[in-house]
Amino acid sequence: LTGTTDNCGGGLTPWNTWVSCEEYEDGQCWQVDPINEKAEETKLGGDGGRYESVAVDNRNPTNPVFFTTEDHEKGALRRFVANGDGWDALHSDGETTFLNILKDSTFEWTTDEDEGQKSAKKHFPNTEGVQVHEGKV
C-alpha cells in the first residue's frame, strides 16, 4: 500500500474491501479495494494511533459497527457506527466511541477518549486482534 507506514493486521469489510491499519504513532486505517485498485484513508483512525486490527458487526447493514484495536499500552478500543453502507460508510459521518470498563466490571461506550485510554491501560493494554461473532466483540 503505497504511501503508508508499518501496516498491520486490518480486517475485511462486508462489501469485500480490506481495511489496512498502520501501526505507528500517527497511523491511520485505509480502506483498500483490490478489484478497482483504489485506497482511501477512513474515519476509523481519528487523530492517529498504532492501529492493529478491525472487525465489523454488520447485523444492521445500513449502519455497520466497526471496532478498531490499537497496539499501545493505553490504546483504546474504538467503536465507529457508520451512517451508511458500502465504500462510503468508512469515509462519511458516523459516531466514534471508546470502551470504558467500569469499577463494577460493567462497561460503557464513551466519547471521552482519555477515559477509554485509562481503561485500556488498566484492563487490556496492547490489544492485537478483534473479532465480532453474533453481535459480541
Q: Is the pLDDT of residue 2 over 90?
A: no
The single residue listed with the C-alpha cell 451508511 is: 84
pLDDT tens sequence across 64-92? 999 999 999 999 999 999 999 999 999 99
CA angle (111 as vertex; 27, 74 as ends), nearest 5: 50
Closest listed residue to residue 26, CA positions, set 1, 51, 8: 51
Quote the pTM value.
0.95
Q: What is the pLDDT of residue 127?
A: 92
